[in-house]
Amino acid sequence: MNWRLSAAGCALVAAALLAAGCGSGGSTTSTTSASVDWSNSLCSATTTWKGAVKDATSSLKSGPFTSATLDAATGRAKDATQAYVDTLKGLGKPDTPSGQTARSAVDTLQTELQADVQTLQNATTDVSGASAVLGSISVASSTLLTMGSQVKSTVSTLQQSDVSGELEQAFTQADACAPYRS
């Protein structure tokens, strides 16, 4: 499959998830509209999350490196991630032979992302002083990169479980996934 990945860690996260079923090599299997709807929901939620986390990451990179900047950036990332997790919870499973495996992979991802939100919360509680702010920025940046790794793992699981190619076809047909197709 062709993957369209950005250089920034958080942009990589969303692009990788969305590329999970997008690319060449379709299937002749009929894809149900429910599977396409599932893919649209996933892609739409990921695009929204990607934008918010990308903005937060930019703030962490560019400074100023203050407690207020840290709180604002991680607050946006936490809020966006929680909204994303809430959407993932409501997705159900795609209407494909590998739908339950895909649902399990998304469940694992949402659990991991919830733990990441807690890590961000812990890293930014009662931070004062330049040294503590820089340490918290480091933890926050590392956590955002961890999110990227978790999404890559989910992508791998989705690809490996899609033996019939129906999920790939659903992603290809989903309008919300268009920006991620090569």
Which of 12-16, 93-97, 113-117, 163-167 is the most confident on average? 113-117
- pLDDT for the residue 30: 52
Lowest mean pLDDT among 22-26, 91-95, 178-182: 22-26
Per-residue pLDDT for 161 more than 50? yes
Lowest mean pLDDT among 53-57, 134-138, 147-151: 147-151
Per-residue pLDDT for 176 more than 50? yes
Task: State the average pLDDT over residues 19-33.
Answer: 47
d(CA 49, CA 15): 11
d(CA 5, CA 66): 30
Per-residue pLDDT for 63 more than 90? no
Task: State the average pLDDT over residues 24-29.
Answer: 39
So where are the chain's domains?
Answer: 9-180
Task: State the average pLDDT over residues 100-119.
Answer: 93
Q: Which residue has the higher pLDDT, 182 or 165?
A: 165
Confidence of residue 167 (pLDDT cuts 50, 70, 90): confident
- pLDDT for the residue 80: 92
Average pLDDT of the chain, as a whole number:
79
- pLDDT for the residue 13: 36
User: Do 110 and 89 form a contact (C-beta atoms < 8 A)?
Assistant: yes
In tens, the pLDDT along 67-97 reads 888 989 999 999 999 999 999 999 888 888 8
This prediction's pTM: 0.76
Q: Which residues contact 72 (CB under 8 A, 6 or more apart)?
A: 59
Q: Which residue has the higher pLDDT, 46 or 26?
A: 46
- pLDDT for the residue 86: 94
SS (H, E, C) 18-87: HCCCCCCCCCCCCCCHHHHHHHHHHHHHHHHHHHHHHHHHHHHHHCCCCHHHHHHHHHHHHHHHHHHHHH
